[in-house]
Amino acid sequence: MLMTPGPTAVPEPVRDAMSRELINPDVDPEFQRIYGRLTDRLAAVYGVESGESEGRSDGSPRDVVVPGGEGILGLEAAIASLVEPGTEVLCLSNGLYGDGFADFVESYGGEATLVSTDYDAPLPLAELESVLAAGDHDFELATMVHCETPTGTLNDLEPALDLLEETDGETLTVVDAVSSLGGVPVPTERIDVCLGASQKCFSAPPGLTTAAISERAWDAMEERGPHSLYTNFLPWRDISGGFPYTHLTTEVVALDTALGLLLEEGLDAVRERHRAAAERCRERGAELGLEPYPDPERSSPTVTAFHTPGRAEELQRRLREERDVLVATGLGALSNDILRVGHMGHNARVERVEETVDALEAVL
């Protein structure tokens, strides 16, 4: 049983959709119709289906695009599309992916200011406020992560967004919501580039990036004129004349079907299912003497990271070999100290959590 925090188990209707006859995305008008329905469904999940942002004073619309490429493509493409040599970028971080934004910025010639803290701490808001108040930088862009999957941390972005808007209101924001979008609310209306992916809470196969992009961000991309094609959102702004490259037809059909299932169930019901699965996972873990890595108040409804110092890799192996249950370990320096159960998307069901923790109990 696959219980990793992405890729997640793919439900049968999505697998069935993938088995249908292949559509040529370059010449068959049916594919344009499917892609249009997909972006409409994504807009509903992002909460921008009206096309208007009520949270930002400029009222800028959000366009939803779905390039072909695993979720990390979106993180890099956002930077490649908005950063040029000398661009000052503030990277707010309390995790691996937050730190990674700074690496992307520097690889494209930008100047990254990393405002970071320990991975088990909340976002460093006091440090952020200090950096902004100092006025030593002219930040054109700020990056942050909603759910740090490697530690199971869900960040409250609102205070950071408030500080950025109160400072000058002009700094563009890029948010990695890859492992939260669809499972918990995301404040997309306050974000200029909000990134998602197919293989997390949507329970479709890996292979597609999703992005909700504001008019301000599009304008900034136009001004920079990125030189790349693949790591570039601009060619996706207007696909009326065709896609920038041959799209991943089967993955698009799969994601469209997965989103249809999600919306048929209803966003509120889906989010409640994630909450219930997370709560039960942590209750059962506590009974076994396991604690979430971050404070429970900051643990994500989509993934539980149990703190298992020095044992994560052994437990993962035994779960796979002895119980046929696949979970994930931590990443980087925490690879052997964190065991992660992904209760997101199709896996966000109490019965699947119960089966997983039963197996974990047997190997502890």
How is 128-158 classified by DSSP, letter by letter?
HHHHHHHT----SEEEEESEEGGGTEEP--H
304 touches 278 (CB < 8 A) = yes
SS3 340: strand
pTM (two decimals)? 0.95
pLDDT recorded at residue 62: 85
The torsion angles phi and psi of 68, rounded to 5 degrees, stand at -85, 120
| 287-327 residue pLDDT tens | 999 999 998 999 999 999 999 999 999 999 999 999 999 99
What are the Cα distances from residue 96, in Å, to 92, 103, 172, 275, 332?
11, 11, 21, 24, 8
| 164-207 residue pLDDT tens | 999 988 999 999 999 999 999 999 999 999 999 999 999 999 99
Whole-angstrom distance, CA of residue 117 vs CA of residue 95: 8
pLDDT recorded at residue 58: 42
Task: Give residue 279's pLDDT band: very low, low, confident or very high (50, 70, 90).
Answer: very high
Whole-angstrom distance, CA of residue 273 vs CA of residue 279: 10
Q: Tell me how crowded residue 123 is: count the other CB atoms within 10 A of its CB.
A: 25
| 12-32 residue pLDDT tens | 999 999 999 999 999 999 999
pLDDT surpasses 70 at 128:
yes
pLDDT recorded at residue 135: 87
Residues with Cβ within 8 Å of residue 50, at least 6 apart in sequence: none
What mean pLDDT do residues 67-72 have? 96
Whole-angstrom distance, CA of residue 144 vs CA of residue 91: 6
pLDDT surpasses 70 at 261:
yes
Whole-angstrom distance, CA of residue 45 vs CA of residue 43: 5
pLDDT recorded at residue 226: 76
Task: Give residue 56's pLDDT band: very low, low, confident or very high (50, 70, 90).
Answer: very low
User: Which carries the bigger pLDDT value, residue 227 or residue 280?
Assistant: 280
